[in-house]
Amino acid sequence: MKLLAACLFGLAIIAPATSSAETGVSPNAVLLGQSVALTGPAAALGTDMRMGAKVYFDHVNSKGGVYGRKIELLTLDDGYEPARTVPNTKKLIEEEKVFALFGYVGTPTSAAALPIFTQARVPFFGPFTGAELLRDPFNSYIFNVRASYYDETEKIVEQLVSTGAKNIAVFYQNDAYGQAGLKGVERAMARRNLKISATGTVERNTVNVAAATRTIGAAKPDAVVMISAYKSCGEFIRQMKKAGSAAQFYNVSFVGSQALADNLDRDGVGVAISQVMPFPWGASVPVVKEYQQLMRKAGQKDFTFTSVEGYVAAKIFVEGLRRTGKDLSREKFITALESMNDVDVGGFFVGFSPKNHNGSKYVDLTIIARDSKFLR
């Protein structure tokens, strides 16, 4: 009888610890899920975002992880198509049972995942998009590391107007991403009592830009603000230049800066891109210097803004894990992130609070120079 009582007492002690274990968390690992384009016209974005994050996670894992837990990143290919993001997200949450979703790439894909992770109460961290739909209305499970498209387009319009440009057109992808950027330009123009002179669209994952080239070209704009991916933007710029346009071309950061520069080759000289991350080729920003060292150590010699973003997002995520403590749960992780006020991760500052999950408003402008290089 005493032996039976002792066994039952032992089970009573063990049972709570087993039942309270958080999904995606074991004594040795934390499992994260990611759905990005690894194939198709936007593949460079997903590949670079994953690579930058993995370089940092691998570095942390080589040091023993966080409280003894290695960080595992499971990445599924969605081709930058929302119809593929939905089953990917369900698989990651329901079958793979990840702790959190990390580093999704794209507005339409993130929008497709939003109701799924919200209902499942799974953190959605560091998406590669500046769309307002991930910021307003406030969602306690979303944490944005980068500045918004409103921030980027405000900076672009401010720069254009300060140099005398008033005839400003917009070339945008015909989906949630393009609409988000378009609205940002409209808002920035309205603040200056200006209106967009012409618009043209392109369908996602295509380069059918002939109609947009005709419509926008007819307006003879001083500048064109572009909200699409690198292949369609590259084709549009080439066709506009071929038609004799002297417009300045400005892109938001999602375009994939290095991929656009490589795509355009000589036609890229003078094309501008807003950036939400530090300059990948400089050495003055500590987090960039660290990124360069670890990239080289991993055998990666090509630095890009997108892989820097993956790296920075991973570093902030890990800081959140450290602040959460050994007893890791989703809700405790969210609370820990919300306590990160103006945290310096190496010359890049990020801050969250219980009412604001938008980590940064940092925006810079760059220009493509010769040999597909970049100038600030």
**pLDDT tens-digit readout, 67-105:** 999 999 999 999 999 999 999 999 999 999 999 999 999
* Residue 358 confidence class, pLDDT cut points 50, 70, 90: very high
> What is the pLDDT at residue 15?
36
* Residue 283 confidence class, pLDDT cut points 50, 70, 90: confident
Pairing of strands 343-344, 349-350: antiparallel
- For the stretch 173-184, pLDDT in tens is 999 999 999 999
Under the phi-then-psi rule, with left for phi > 0, alpha for psi from -120 to 50, and beta for the rest, what region is 282? beta
Reference 357, options 208, 138, 123; nearest CA is 138
Task: Tell me which amino acid residue 362 is.
Answer: Y
Distance CA 174, CA 172 (A): 6
Distance CA 302, CA 367 (A): 18
The label of the residue with tokens 């450290």 reads 322
> What is the pLDDT at residue 2?
43
Q: What percent of the chain has pLDDT over 70?
A: 95
Distance CA 216, CA 237 (A): 11
> What is the pLDDT at residue 12?
39
What is the rounded average pLDDT of the residues 150-155? Answer: 98
What is the rounded average pLDDT of the residues 42-51? Answer: 96
Whether the per-residue pLDDT at 8 is higher than 80: the answer is: no
> What is the pLDDT at residue 20?
54
Reference 281, options 271, 272, 273, 291; nearest CA is 291
Per-chain mean pLDDT for the chain: 94
What is the rounded average pLDDT of the residues 206-214? Answer: 97
Q: What percent of the chain has pLDDT over 90?
A: 93
Domains present along the chain, CATH in parentheses: 22-147+284-360 (3.40.50.2300), 149-275 (3.40.50.2300)
What is the rounded average pLDDT of the residues 302-310? Answer: 96
> What is the pLDDT at residue 335?
98
* Residue 4 confidence class, pLDDT cut points 50, 70, 90: very low
| Phi (first) and psi of residue 339, to 5 degrees | -90, 0
Distance CA 282, CA 280 (A): 6
Whether the per-residue pLDDT at 7 is higher than 80: the answer is: no
* Residue 229 confidence class, pLDDT cut points 50, 70, 90: very high
* Residue 210 confidence class, pLDDT cut points 50, 70, 90: very high
What is the rounded average pLDDT of the residues 245-273? Answer: 96
